[in-house]
Amino acid sequence: MRPLRPAVFLDRDDTLNVNADLPPEAWARTKEGDLLDPAFVELIPGALEACRRLSDAGFVLVVITNQGGVARGGGSTRDIDACNTALRALLSPSDDHDEHVPAPFRASVVTASYSAPHHPEGDVPPFDDEHHWRKPGPGMIEAAAHELGLDPPRSWMVGDKQRDLDAATNAGIPPKRTILLAPGSPCPDLAAAADRILASAIDPSQTTRLTLRASSGAPLGDERARETVIATARAIAERTGVRLVDLDTADDRVTITLATHRLGALGFLAELRRLTNAWSRARAGADLWPTDR
Ligand SMILES: [Mg+2]
Q: Give the highest mean pLDDT range of 139-143, 204-208, 224-228.
A: 139-143
Q: Is the pLDDT of residue 293 over 70?
A: no
Fold of 204-284: Alpha-Beta Plaits (3.30.70)
Averaged over 122-142, what is the pLDDT? 95
Q: Please check the confidence at residue 105 and state whether its pLDDT lies above 90.
A: no
Q: Round to whole Å and give the CA distance between 228 and 145.
A: 39
What per-residue confidence (pLDDT) applies to 106? 59
What pLDDT does 3 receive? 84
Q: Tens digit of pLDDT for each residue in 230-251? A: 999 989 988 888 888 888 899 9
| Cα separation, 284 vs 216, whole angstroms | 14
Distance from residue 282's CA to the centre of ligand 1 (Å):
37
Cα 164 to ligand 1 centre (Å) = 8
Instruction: Order across the sheet with 244-250: list the strands.
Output: 208-213, 253-258, 244-250
pLDDT (tens digit, 9 = 90+) per residue, 64-88? 999 999 999 989 999 999 999 999 8
Element containing residue 53 per DSSP (H, E): helix 47-56
Give the residue extent of every domain in the chain.
Answer: 7-187, 204-284
Q: How far is the CA of 190 from the centre of ligand 1 (A)?
A: 12
Residue 94 has pLDDT above 70, yes or no: no
Average pLDDT over residues 116-145: 95
pLDDT score of 284 more than 80: yes
At 169 the pLDDT is 98
Cα-to-chain-centroid distance, residue 95: 24
Number of H helices, E strands in the chain: 7, 8
Give the other-Cβ count within 10 Å of 293's Cβ. Answer: 10
Q: What positions carry a catalytic annotation?
A: 11, 13
* CA distance readout (Å), 210 to 143, 244, 245: 42, 12, 12
Q: What is the reported pLDDT for 37? A: 92
Mean pLDDT, rounded, of the chain:
91
What pLDDT is stored for residue 201 in this prediction? Answer: 79
pLDDT at 165 over 80: yes
Cα–Cα distance for residue pair 202/260, rounded to 1 Å? 11
Ligand 1 centroid to 65 CA: how many Å?
8
Q: What is the largest CA-CA distance in the chain?
A: 68
The pLDDT of residue 98 is above 90: no
pLDDT band at 61 (very low <50, low <70, confident <90, very high): very high
Based on its alpha-carbon atoms, the radius of gyration of the chain, rounded to whole angstroms, reads 21
Ligand 1 centroid–CA 135 distance in Å is 11
Contact 48, 72 (CB under 8 A): no
CB atoms under 10 Å from CB of 133, counted, come to: 20
pLDDT in tens, 141-164: 999 999 999 999 999 999 999 999
DSSP 3-state of 162: helix
Rounded to whole angstroms, what are the CA distances from 58 to 53, 204, 237? 9, 20, 23
Task: Please give the pLDDT value at position 186.
Answer: 86
User: Which of 90-99, 113-122, 175-184, 270-279 is predicted with the least confidence, judged by mean pLDDT?
Assistant: 90-99
Q: What is the pLDDT of residue 38?
A: 93
- Give the Å distance between the CA of 38 and the centre of ligand 1: 16
Q: How many other β-carbons are positioned within 10 Å of the β-carbon of residue 62?
A: 24
CA 257 and chain centroid, separation: 20
Calculate mean pLDDT across residues 209-213. Answer: 96
H or E, element range at 90: helix 77-90
Q: How far apart are CA 49 and CA 150, in angstroms?
A: 23
Q: Which CATH number fits domain 7-187: 1.10.3720.10, 3.40.50.300, 3.40.50.1000, 1.10.260.40?
A: 3.40.50.1000
